[in-house]
Amino acid sequence: MIVVHSPHHILHNPPKEFISNHIEAYGESPERAEIILEALMDHPDVELTRVEQFDLSHFYKIHGNDYLVYLQTAYDEWVAAGLWSEGIMPEFFALGHMRNRPPSKSPEGKAGYYMTDSCTMIVKGTWEAVKYSGFTALTGAKYLLNGRSSAFSICRPPGHHAGFDYAGGYCFVNNAALAAKFLQDQGRPEADGDVKVGILDIDFHHGNGTQDIVQHLENILLVSIHGDPDYSYPYLTGFESENTEKNVNFALPPGINDEAYFKVFQKAVSTLKAFGCSYLVISLGVDTSEHDQIGNFKLTSAIYCKLAQYLIDELPLPKLILMEGGYNIDFLAGNVMAFLTPFLEAKTL
């Protein structure tokens, strides 16, 4: 199995975040990607591959021009204005009608316009890391286009909370939407002339950014299984009442176990089968684990293997797995390996 990684992720290493009404160490740390890579390095069925570079035009197909310019220039503007050099953390947020006009010219105003929370920070190396995280997703997608049946891209920072023109939830560029659009543009059409791409998001948190972006795209369907936003981040979106022909949400209650989750997972896969995907992008978050401090599900490590095997059996099409969330360092690599094991054991191209 192809596993794509980038050393550039370490450039994004914010010192802290403001979460649950207090300041603590940044939860989305470089250690996350490093321990996953370490767990995979010596596996006999893993082909470790370094990230390739791509034209940034792919990014502009899913994100707004002004937003991408902001990501590239934000830190330098912030520091030039004499603001806190450790990083950018918004002090206010553009709500409701305030987003109907362009952002103010001040760095503080731009931060509040383009960032949705105070647990997401931009530091000096953020753009470089974000850019290569997107390239990591695109490299994995390229392997599918070249005939591989599966690939795993260790994307860091993650991406599924990044919307068309905003960052949040540790995310800046939406890797899943980026890869899906690339596969659609470059892939071989089905008999009806369309390349349909499914995105299956199984992170604990709703992929609000992905949902936002797919509304602007054709023949890409997002199916998301996540914690009920009445109780979990991102709180204001991810409800089943938002379901359209472009996104299907399964919002689940706190404390859900393996058996109940798997029943919902089967429904999600049936939805993707009915859609008729040519390719499947999987936003893998293992913050659904019973041990994760950010989620409130009660899934055991064993269920991840079962979910992956079910996908292989029920959806025999090329699959790109992208790393999203999962924050308990003691269990992160083990849970990721549990999900990847059926793909590794398949020993297909």
Active site residues: 161
Q: What is the rounded CA–CA span in Å between residue 253 and residue 250?
A: 10
Longest dimension (CA), the chain: 58
Q: Which single residue is written with the structure tokens 């731009």?
A: 110
Query: 3-class SS at 278?
Result: coil
Count the Cβ atoms, other than its own, within 10 Å of residue 84.
Answer: 9
Q: What is the rounded CA–CA span in Å between residue 63 and residue 77?
A: 21
What angle separates helix 258-275 from helix 301-314, to the nearest 10 degrees? 20
CA nearest neighbour of 75 among 161, 24, 138, 12: 12
Non-local CB neighbours of 13 within 8 Å, separated by 6+ positions: 26, 29, 30, 123, 125
Pairing relationship of beta strands 22-25 and 2-5 according to DSSP bridges: unpaired
